Homo-oligomer: A and B are copies of this chain.
């Protein structure tokens, strides 16, 4: 057990406990020879400062709480890595919890972080507009920054891309390469206000081109996309030639589903995702998608939050730039063969 405390070091260095503390943390206040003696004693004893004691006394933990929906989606994992990097650079620590998209857990896990007395929070909630957690945090004046979320209320500071415009750009791209019948595939809207904004962007782009936006195709998240849902896009008088998916995981799943139905991507159907996870670029065909800078989002959130903790005035939400990754799953629309045959999956010959 490590029962060695400041006091033990003090005894060994033959100085008072206060001097040890100063020698280790503010060496300028202590005579050089003493500093050396203390450092030596500390090293000899293998002294490891107890942050619990420090935090109690300092009434500050230099720790940030992070609440994310999941880590399985690498978007959030990347963001967390950014958060971790930035906090470490600033000599802060992090406590992470995930809700696994259980909206009803958001409050409880956050409570727990507050019991630990984190100095501030970085979170992604289901909906920034209507959120019991955020109401609570506001009410307690606990500093926080949202990531990925965008909020109508300006005092809820966020770091994100402009989801609506980004989606509009993506769909606009599809339109610019000749697609006319485009549908959007999303997970459960209730889990993600981002998906809603992206849907608005889809509508914007369609309308701007004089096209009629279709209702979204909602599929259960994180499972193989039911071929039924896909078939739905292919049927009717005006079958889709392109699908815009509200995130990359979904898009990847959609591409596979189409291939499995015997369709060719992108020749029979173009697909565009949203997120820009690294994996998408590794696939063949490489996923066309909207890239958001997840790591930067994390780092920015930390910087913003720490600035606030230092007493800076809250400042405005931060919108980071997105970009389109052209990829190979989206291609110029070509009139499809008069009789669209559903071929068997692309086995050889």
Q: Which of A58-84 contact B (CB under 8 A)?
A: 61, 70-72, 74, 77-78, 80-81, 84
Is A190's beta carbon under 8 Å from chain B?
no
Which of the 9-residue segments A11-19, A23-31, A111-119, A304-312 touches chain B? A111-119
A141 to B348, CA, bound (A): 59
Q: Judge if A56 is at the interface, Cβ distance under 8 Å.
A: yes
| Complex CA–CA separation, A303 to B144 (angstroms) | 33
Instruction: Report B-chain residues with C-beta under 8 Å of the C-beta of A55.
Output: 52
Contact of A71 among B1, B81, B141, B345 (CB under 8 A): B81
Size class of the A contact interface (CB-based, 8 Å): 35 or more
Per assembly, the copies of the chain total 2
Contacts of A255 in B (CB 8 A): 284
When C-beta atoms are compared, the residue in chain B nearest to A71 turns out to be: B77
Cβ–Cβ contact A84 & B56, under 8 A: no
- The interface stretch among A180-188, A202-210, A230-238, A259-267 is A259-267
Q: Which of A49, A72, A252, A284 has the most CB of B within 10 A?
A: A284
Question: B56 near A52 (CB under 8 angstroms)?
Answer: yes
Tell me which of B56, B78, B100, B286 contacts A72 (CB under 8 A). Answer: B78
Contact indicator A282/B264 (Cβ below 8 Å): no
B residues in contact with A71, CB < 8 Å: 71, 74, 77, 80-81
Contact flag A260-B284 (CB < 8 Å), given A71-B80, A77-B77: yes
Report yes or no: A117 in contact with B51, Cβ–Cβ below 8 A.
yes
A318 is an interface residue with CB less than 8 A from chain B: no
Q: A213 CB to closest chain B CB, in angstroms?
A: 27
**Which residues of A, 242-296, contact B by the 8 Å Cβ criterion?**
249, 252-253, 255-257, 259-260, 264, 267, 278-279, 281-284, 286
Chain B residues with CB under 8 Å of A34's CB are: none
Interface hub of A56, A140, A249 (most chain B Cβ within 10 A): A56
Determine which of B1, B74, B97 lies in contact with A74 in the assembled complex, contact meaning CB atoms within 8 Å: B74
Task: Please name the residue on chain B nearest to A115 by beta carbon.
Answer: B51
Q: Which residues of B contact A283 (CB under 8 A)?
A: 252, 256, 283
* A346 contacts partner chain B, Cβ-Cβ < 8 Å: yes
What chain B residues lie within 8 Å of A212 (beta carbons)?
Answer: none
Q: How far is the CA of A112 from the CA of B93 in the complex (A)?
A: 9
CB distance from A168 to the nearest CB of B (A): 28
Q: Let me know if B278 and A222 touch, CB within 8 A.
A: yes
A80 to B74, CA, bound (A): 13
Known: A46-B140, A71-B81. 4 other contacts (CB 8 A): A48-B115, A71-B77, A249-B279, A267-B348
Taking Cβ atoms with an 8 Å cutoff, the residues of A that contact B are 1-2, 46, 48-53, 55-56, 61, 70-72, 74, 77-78, 80-81, 84, 93-98, 100, 111-112, 114-117, 140-141, 222, 224, 249, 252-253, 255-257, 259-260, 264, 267, 278-279, 281-284, 286, 345-348
Closest 4 CB pairs of A and B: A256-B284, A71-B77, A259-B284, A267-B348
